[in-house]
Amino acid sequence: MKKLNSKGFGIIEALLLIIILAVIGFGGYYVWSNRNDKKNSLPKATSQTGGPATDHVVSTEIRLVTGVYTPNNIDIRKGSLVTWVISDGGDIPNYGVENNTDSTEIFSSSLLKTGDKFSHTFKKVGTFGWHDKYQGRLTGTVTVTE
């Protein structure tokens, strides 16, 4: 490198400094964002072909919080018990879970209010749609594999 003169850094030194700061900044952001992603995410399910299943999460519990079932699409093994937990303390007082009419896996809860739970053991392999009996816009699927 050149000795500093009265003009300060040369062009090459200034460019090197900018590159070094950019690498440090992007590296720090990458580490920080990956750490937060791992803390806040549930394990993702895999599809029959081994790739990720879109919008599906490996879980046996579905929670209703602030008017939304989360996760609403799940992957489980045959014989697993799935539990819907009503944690919502909002304005809507009534919930209820049941299978879609085209489903071969039949289940239906009674009226559910905040603090209530409903569970069903899935005994068949397939993808089964479900919806909330009182809040029809709330829907999801349970995909069951061997």
Are 22 and 65 members of one domain? Answer: no
Are 23 and 78 members of one domain? Answer: no
Q: What is the CATH number of the domain that holds 86?
A: 2.60.40.420
What is the domain count for the chain? Answer: 2
Are 28 and 93 members of one domain? Answer: no
Are 49 and 79 members of one domain? Answer: yes
Banded model confidence at residue 76, pLDDT cuts 50, 70, 90? very high
Residue type, 106: I
DSSP-derived secondary structure for the chain:
-PPPBTTBS-HHHHHHHHHHHHHHHHHHHHHHHHHHHHHH-PPEEE-TTSSEEEEEEE-SEEEEETTEEESSEEEEETT-EEEEEE---SS---B-EEE-TT-SS--B---B-TT-EEEEE--S-EEEEEEESS-TT-EEEEEEE-
Are 32 and 63 members of one domain? Answer: no
Are 114 and 65 members of one domain? Answer: yes
49 to 43, 55, 61, 141: CA distances (angstroms) = 17, 16, 25, 19
Are 128 and 101 members of one domain? Answer: yes
Are 31 and 98 members of one domain? Answer: no
What's the domain range around 79?
44-145
Q: Which residue has the higher pLDDT, 37 or 101?
A: 101
Are 127 and 86 members of one domain? Answer: yes
pLDDT of residue 123: 92
Residue type, 92: I
pLDDT (tens digit per residue) in 32-41? 665 544 444 4
108 to 30, 67, 112, 141, 146: CA distances (angstroms) = 45, 19, 11, 14, 23
Are 128 and 115 members of one domain? Answer: yes
Distance between CA atoms of 19 and 119, rounded to whole angstroms? 56
Question: Contact 113/26 with Cβ under 8 angstroms?
Answer: no
Banded model confidence at residue 7, pLDDT cuts 50, 70, 90? low
Are 83 and 126 members of one domain? Answer: yes
pLDDT of residue 9: 65
